[in-house]
Chains A and B, each alone.
Chain A
Amino acid sequence: MLIPEVRQKWANPINTVTIGATSEEGGTRTCTVTVGGSTTLPFLHFEGKIPHRPVIAMEVLDIIPKDWSALLGEHFSDVWDDPGKWAKKCVDEFGADLVCLRLAGCDPDGEDKGPDEAAAAVKSVLEAVGVPLIVWGCGNNDKDNEVLPQCSEISAGERCLFGSITEDNYKTLVALCKADGHKLIAESPVDINIAKQVNVLATDLGLDPKDIVIYPTSGSLGYGVEYVYSIMERGRIAGLGGDTMWAMPILCDIGKEVWKVKEAVSDEIAEWGDQSQRGPLWEATTAYVYLLAGADTLIMRHPKAVSEVKKYLEKLIESK
């Protein structure tokens, strides 16, 4: 029986984004990380090329986390008073490809740390590890616009990935990115149209589309993962089909979302089984789903989830 040709020829490869700069390139990283570049849908090796494997960043805060699960504390409570030490543990012991420093301490409703302290945290992580760095603000627009310029300046030339620009707040970060040579995370609230619009607005201001990574606001398994999957899939298809405003690599912020849901953190429901397995499993499974949807970069927390996802990736990335 003649099987019809189902392979498609896509018009446009997804952009590649390189995070990190070595000394030859003006930074101090010992390695760089490049994501994107696919000429086909996720892992369809028979249809196209997947030149860069998805990567995993592990999350570090600039303060001791207030409400992290004991399952995470088990691995990090010995270092989480020091972002540099914490980052080093993530890389040396748990094999993180990048470190994501989240400036939770700058939250005006929390410790309300200022630009100097934020920049110092960035510097200490840069000095502690050789892998590339993601720097994510606290999520309050005004505060981030106040704090991130110094963080950008202190890491100028390191080609960090800064988070994040949104439809309503993008001008400051776009200017910083252009001035200091960083890449940007473009965030949208689970909305394929806004995701596109953010990229149009930023590129209209002069940002190179190749400096952008898309963050669609990736919820945890059980909390809308299917809808985000459908957005990523439709967006990736559009990008491959020639829509340059959706032809960017995608980032999923897994750890932050998973470790606030009861399925990962609660040990109150006996039928749910052993929480020490369940938590990392919930995080790993969320990651698998997003990898299949097209995620190029994952931000994760639990070392066991990271190691399981790495094993899974080894198999996915093999082209037979």
Chain B
Amino acid sequence: MIFIGERINGGFKDVVKAVKEKDSGIIKKWAIRQTQAGADYIDVNIGAVSNKVEDYIWMIETVQETVSTPISIDTNKLEFLKEALKLCQKTPLINSTTAHDEKLDQLVPLAVEHEVGLIGVCMDEKGSPQDVNRRVELAAKIFTHAVEKGLPPERLFLDPVIMPLKFLQPQATNVLEAISQFRLLSDPPPHIVVGLSNISSQTIELKLINRTFLVMAIEAGLDAAICDVTDTELVSAAITAELIKGEHIYSDSFLKAYQAAKKPGVSD
């Protein structure tokens, strides 16, 4: 399972404060905590706090001062992305492109040129996908475009677009079905990723919903998630789901064994 830590995001009050006041302590704290929890990537999103590229650069540099975990460059500003690509010390992930032609034309070549991963979100000018077929159509579009331009499937992450259970309950099963169909795109298939917390948006049983959906999605074929990696029950459930699918050898201490395989890249 590829865990992308979601916490360094301008949607959180403490991150807003950190960027405004240049308080590196807050950013470093979340970089370390997420790394120690086993994050494979640290997502860095400036949100609406600032539109100054120096501020985004500051966030990435602050993260890299404390951990060597690769970064998920979460921005829709091309200038931010280009600067970030120069800075990243470990191979980053571009989060993200959509299925809009202009976006694909802009971002796929960047991913190919820099040999980095690319998340492709199944949305286009017609809006968010409302059913399974539309999701698969958009995924196929992104996939074909990427592969034709030289991005190998193992560097492509397709996102079927989760919607809040509270407001769009039927979409949950659409997403699960779409995930299993995405896997048919190639052999081996591209990665499949979701922004997990969207499923539990504004609910009360946030963690329970996140955790249960993640397990169901893993069964459908999900292998990556942008999520709260510090939620140990969430991470344990994901590892257990993969174990049940036969992806890891069982041992009584299988959770410890999984974490032992990830050497936390925490410096000083």
Contact = CB atoms under 8 A, between A and B. Distances in A.
A and B are interacting partners: yes
A94 B254 CA distance: 43
B248 interface: yes
A135 B267 CA distance: 39
A203 B261 contact: no
Interface string B122-140: 0000000000000000000
Nearest to A239: B249
A196 B249 contact: yes
Interface string A86-121: 000000000000000000000000000000000000
B250 interface: yes
Contact of B253 (A197, A244, A246): A197
Contacts of B245: none
B203 to A, nearest CB: 35
A197 B253 CA distance: 6
B261 A244 contact: yes
A201 B248 contact: no
Contacts of B260: 200, 203, 209, 244-245
Contacts of B261: 242-245
B252 interface: yes
A197 B255 CA distance: 11
B256 interface: yes
Contacts of A154: none
Nearest to B253: A200
Contacts of B250: 193, 196
A234 interface: yes
A235 B248 CA distance: 10
Nearest to A201: B253
Interface string B255-268: 01100110000000
Interface residues of B, number: 10
A271 interface: no
Nearest to B262: A244
B249 A238 contact: yes
A238 B257 CA distance: 12
A193 B260 CA distance: 16
Interface in B223-268: 248-253, 256-257, 260-261
Given A242-B261, A245-B261, A196 B256 contact: no
A12 to B, nearest CB: 9
Interface in A187-241: 192-194, 196-197, 199-201, 203-204, 209, 234-235, 238
Contacts of B249: 192-193, 196, 234-235, 238, 243, 245-246
Interface in A232-283: 234-235, 238, 242-246
A197 B248 contact: no
B122 to A, nearest CB: 28
B253 A243 contact: no
Contacts of B253: 197, 200-201, 204
Contacts of A238: 248-249
Nearest to B261: A244
Nearest to A197: B251
Nearest to A246: B249
Nearest to B256: A200
A129 B256 CA distance: 41
B248 A243 contact: yes
Contacts of A234: 249
B40 to A, nearest CB: 12
Of B251, B252, B256, most buried by chain A (CB within 10 Å of CB) is B251
Given A242-B261, A244-B261, A245-B261, A194 B256 contact: no
A99 to B, nearest CB: 32
Contacts of B256: 200, 204
A234 B260 CA distance: 20
Nearest to A198: B251
A193 B252 CA distance: 8
A219 to B, nearest CB: 21
A203 B251 CA distance: 14
Nearest to A200: B253
A1 B179 CA distance: 35
Contacts of A235: 249
Contacts of B251: 193-194, 196-197, 200, 245
A193 B257 CA distance: 11
Nearest to A234: B249
Contacts of B248: 238, 243
A56 to B, nearest CB: 28
5 contacts: A193-B252, A238-B249, A243-B249, A245-B249, A246-B249
> Which 3 residue pairs of A and B lie closest in terms of their CB atoms, listed nearest first?
A196-B251, A197-B251, A200-B253
Given A196-B250, A235-B249, 14 more contacts: A193-B249, A194-B251, A197-B252, A200-B252, A200-B260, A204-B256, A209-B260, A242-B261, A243-B248, A243-B249, A243-B257, A245-B249, A245-B261, A246-B249
Interface of A: 192-194, 196-197, 199-201, 203-204, 209, 234-235, 238, 242-246
